[in-house]
Chain A
Amino acid sequence: MSAHPSLELTLQPSPEGRAPGAPVFEVQDLQVEFRTSAGVAKAVNHVSFSVAAGECLAIVGESGSGKTATLLAALGLLPTPPSRTTGGKVLLDGVDLLALSRRGLRDVLGRDISMVFQDSLSAFNPVLTIGRQISEGVRRHRGLSKKAAHALSIEMLERVGVPDPRQRVDQYPHQLSGGMRQRAMIAMALAGEPKVLIADEPTTALDVTVQAQILELVRSFEDLSVVWVSHDLGVVAGLADRVAVMYAGSVIEQGPARDIFHDPRHPYTRALLGSVPRLRDPDRGDLVSIPGLPPSLVDLPAGCPFYARCDVRDERGLARRPELVTVAPRHEAACFAAADEARNHG
């Protein structure tokens, strides 16, 4: 059913997701701070998540929720200063990336784990050809000859559905359309045959019909573990096996995609889902809107970060920060009310 001739693989993963295996990529208790003129911003607070082989984890959150900072910090890509990773572990196949030397980290990036970004134009070097940039990584990581790397570049471009890969490989980034550039970036990321792909809103800047193509492409890589950051719940619904929802630098809920969408337990997740207009809604009542604004990361409240905007709050949230607790199988939420409810029913 794929409209993509160049794709060998197309599949629709079952909504249950693939069977959970041992985690390939695991972030444990990550903490990141930024020095700003207003004070120290706690951008990432005790964030933990993991991805199993072939699994897709989506990290959902609004701007400033710390989703991008988490990933950049995990890969050591945040410039220090002003950022500082103050704690936590990032395990890739059991190796702690944060403990690696700069050189060791460079060996891992692009080979075992790659990243694609939202803005494909600035992620490429404008004065080098696409082929040269794809080759660079594989020559370094896989020791390929110039010629072999060039051939591989063409193969990769073909694989991700760039038309005329033989010509495109020698073109410069600006000569490609946005959708093609995003494909080329994915080709570059996958050329080193990584186990884990980190994607930071790679379709946000694209038109919907092109976004649909890219999503189809990503779905076709079955064995790849993907961490997909997005604010678009529709995209997440189509892609993710599991979803982690971030708010004010913390994961406030995570679980299987189906549970998160159909049975959200955290009031923020519920409100977020209710705030999205849906094409299929026949009637159109008012959308759910969350009153107020997220707290300042410089001045986080001692209690629940969502307290001020919450519709099920009680005095516990004012005093204490709720921990992530299991509210259903493989489903955790950081909310006192949700924990109560789970206890009463379970």
Chain B
Amino acid sequence: MTDIQRPGDASDPGSPVAVTGRGETMSTAPVTPTLALKADRLEGGGGRLAFNIGVTIVVIWVLVALTVPWWTPFDPVTDQDLQGRLAPPSGEHWFGTDNLGRDVFARVMHGARLSLPIALVTVAVSVAIGCLIGAVAGFLGGLVDEVVMRISDIVLSFPAIVLALAIAAALGPSTTNVVIAIAAVTWPEYTRLMRGQVLSIRNNLHVLAAQSIGCSRARIFRVHVLPFGLQPILVKATVDLGMVILLAAGLSFIGVGAVPPTPEWGAMVSEAQSRIDSWWLGLFPGIAILSMVLAFNFIGDAMRDRFDPQMRTQRTRGGGATSRMLRRTLLGKAGERAA
């Protein structure tokens, strides 16, 4: 089949370069960080530690959420003990009891069964809506883009908590409505992010190349644009999981979220505020919220650190002369290429 002689470099094609310190190979990375390269760039001690802590906390909470009914001796709602109400932490009730004598430990643990799904569903809905709208707006441009962006501007001009509060209050307190309210205020951020991604990816050479071989617009969008926009979305979504947990707790705290007696962390903190002397009522659900938010932030930050610097070096022309020099030295080709 190959009647053409190889151009005198038999060994050239045979040896794909391992991803090493050799300049040329590394230079590919900044263009579009691929998942395959991710592990290779896991560097830097501090970021990695935070990442590991975050993942550990989340994994623990997920396990708790999945298994808690089988190992807590108390039901978080029905096991009431009015005699032993507002008891401080003890061997029997590790986190004490609340004003109806319910076990706070059981309630906090069961809270994960509520907070995690709320966060996941809300972020998923928000990402799906936001990305779709943003990608379409960025890809089509023109009037569609203009209209979508102005709508998102309007939503973004309200503080998230205030708007979510208004929506949740209008819809009535329920867990479903919390999801709707939060998704309704967070989608524009994904829209903007995705639109920006699409706008810059659209100008990549590989998109022009796809056009040149005759790809349809739909295929270019699906195969050559969309996958490249998802990485920063993933990072933001991770950080947002924590934020949504906080927001959902906030809504419940105010009383427009989960309704009692649901063991919701925000609602529990809210109940605790009238009984400041029973410190365990608020402290433990508070720690639960804190740990979850912190964990997702750790993970998100670590991911951002891994993806973002490359994007920054790729996108901006400027940067210090020294950093460019270093990059040129390290990356070889990328820097030495004629403009």
Asked if chains A and B are in direct contact (CB within 8 A), the reply is yes
Q: Contact between B20 and A39 (Cβ–Cβ < 8 Å)?
A: yes
| A2 adjacent to chain B (CB < 8 Å) | no
When distances are taken between beta carbons in the complex, the residues of chain A under 8 Å from B100 are none
| A72 adjacent to chain B (CB < 8 Å) | yes
Query: Across the two chains, which residue of chain A brings its CB closest to B9?
Result: A291
Q: Contact between B333 and A296 (Cβ–Cβ < 8 Å)?
A: no
| B8 adjacent to chain A (CB < 8 Å) | yes
Q: Contact between A205 and B338 (Cβ–Cβ < 8 Å)?
A: yes
Pick the contact of B17 from A119, A123, A293 — CB < 8 Å? A293
Within 8 A of B (CB), among A67-102: 68-69, 72, 77-79, 82-83
| B326 adjacent to chain A (CB < 8 Å) | yes
**Contact A298-B329, Cβ < 8 Å, known A63-B336, A121-B317, A122-B319:** no
Within the assembled complex, what's the spacing in Å between the Cα atoms of A204 and B337?
8
The 0/1 profile, CB within 8 Å of B marked 1, for residues 304-323 of chain A is 00001100000000000000
Query: Across the two chains, which residue of chain A brings its CB closest to B339?
Result: A205
Q: Contact between B17 and A296 (Cβ–Cβ < 8 Å)?
A: yes
- Nearest-Cβ distance from residue B157 to partner chain A, whole angstroms: 31
| B89 adjacent to chain A (CB < 8 Å) | no
How many residue pairs bridge A and B at CB < 8 Å?
Answer: 106
When distances are taken between beta carbons in the complex, the residues of chain A under 8 Å from B40 are 37-38
Q: Contact between A201 and B20 (Cβ–Cβ < 8 Å)?
A: no
| A297 adjacent to chain B (CB < 8 Å) | yes
Query: Across the two chains, which residue of chain A brings its CB closest to B6?
Result: A291
When distances are taken between beta carbons in the complex, the residues of chain B under 8 Å from A43 are 329
When distances are taken between beta carbons in the complex, the residues of chain B under 8 Å from A299 are 20
Q: Contact between B336 and A204 (Cβ–Cβ < 8 Å)?
A: yes
Q: Contact between B18 and A296 (Cβ–Cβ < 8 Å)?
A: yes
**Contact A289-B24, Cβ < 8 Å, known A123-B321, A204-B336:** no
Within the assembled complex, what's the spacing in Å between the Cα atoms of A297 and B21?
6
Within the assembled complex, what's the spacing in Å between the Cα atoms of A32 and B338?
26
When distances are taken between beta carbons in the complex, the residues of chain A under 8 Å from B205 are none
When distances are taken between beta carbons in the complex, the residues of chain B under 8 Å from A37 are 40-43
Within the assembled complex, what's the spacing in Å between the Cα atoms of A99 and B317?
34
Q: Contact between A41 and B21 (Cβ–Cβ < 8 Å)?
A: yes
- Nearest-Cβ distance from residue B332 to partner chain A, whole angstroms: 4
- Nearest-Cβ distance from residue B35 to partner chain A, whole angstroms: 16
Q: Contact between B326 and A296 (Cβ–Cβ < 8 Å)?
A: no
Q: Contact between A231 and B336 (Cβ–Cβ < 8 Å)?
A: yes
Pick the contact of A64 from B19, B24, B326, B338 — CB < 8 Å? B24
- Nearest-Cβ distance from residue A69 to partner chain B, whole angstroms: 4
| A5 adjacent to chain B (CB < 8 Å) | no
B contact residues, range: 35 or more
| A294 adjacent to chain B (CB < 8 Å) | yes
Q: Contact between A298 and B11 (Cβ–Cβ < 8 Å)?
A: no
- Nearest-Cβ distance from residue B251 to partner chain A, whole angstroms: 43
Q: Contact between B22 and A64 (Cβ–Cβ < 8 Å)?
A: yes
The 0/1 profile, CB within 8 Å of B marked 1, for residues 24-60 of chain A is 0000000000101111110100000000000000000
The 0/1 profile, CB within 8 Å of A marked 1, for residues 12-51 of chain B is 1001011111111010000000000000111100000000
Q: Contact between B317 and A78 (Cβ–Cβ < 8 Å)?
A: no
| B318 adjacent to chain A (CB < 8 Å) | yes
| A213 adjacent to chain B (CB < 8 Å) | no
The 0/1 profile, CB within 8 Å of B marked 1, for residues 249-291 of chain A is 0000000000000000000000000000000000000100111
Q: Contact between B11 and A34 (Cβ–Cβ < 8 Å)?
A: no
When distances are taken between beta carbons in the complex, the residues of chain A under 8 Å from B330 are 34, 36, 82
Query: Across the two chains, which residue of chain A brings its CB closest to B8?
Result: A289
Query: Across the two chains, which residue of chain B brings its CB closest to A68?
Result: B329
Query: Across the two chains, which residue of chain B brings its CB closest to A204?
Result: B338
When distances are taken between beta carbons in the complex, the residues of chain B under 8 Å from A34 are 21, 329-330
Q: Which of A122, A205, A289, A290 has the most CB of B within 10 A?
A: A122
Within the assembled complex, what's the spacing in Å between the Cα atoms of A123 and B318?
9
Q: Contact between A119 and B324 (Cβ–Cβ < 8 Å)?
A: yes
When distances are taken between beta carbons in the complex, the residues of chain B under 8 Å from A78 are 325-326, 329
Q: Contact between B20 and A298 (Cβ–Cβ < 8 Å)?
A: yes
Query: Across the two chains, which residue of chain A brings its CB closest to B44?
Result: A37
When distances are taken between beta carbons in the complex, the residues of chain B under 8 Å from A64 are 22-24, 332-333
Q: Which of A40, A63, A82, A294 has the most CB of B within 10 A?
A: A63
Within the assembled complex, what's the spacing in Å between the Cα atoms of A117 and B324?
10
| B142 adjacent to chain A (CB < 8 Å) | no
| B83 adjacent to chain A (CB < 8 Å) | no
Q: Which of A43, A77, A296 has the most CB of B within 10 A?
A: A296
When distances are taken between beta carbons in the complex, the residues of chain A under 8 Å from B17 are 293, 296
When distances are taken between beta carbons in the complex, the residues of chain B under 8 Å from A118 are 328, 335-336
| A143 adjacent to chain B (CB < 8 Å) | no
**Contact A291-B10, Cβ < 8 Å, known A36-B26, A296-B22, A297-B21:** yes
Q: 4 closest Cβ contacts across the A-B interface?
A: A41-B21, A36-B21, A64-B23, A63-B332
Residues of B within 8 A of A (CB): 7-12, 15, 17-24, 26, 40-43, 317-319, 321-326, 328-330, 332-333, 335-336, 338-339
Residues of A within 8 A of B (CB): 34, 36-41, 43, 63-64, 68-69, 72, 77-79, 82-83, 117-119, 121-123, 126, 201, 204-205, 231, 286, 289-294, 296-299, 308-309
Given A38-B21, A77-B322, 8 more pairs with CB closer than 8 A = A37-B41, A38-B20, A41-B22, A64-B332, A82-B330, A83-B329, A296-B22, A299-B20
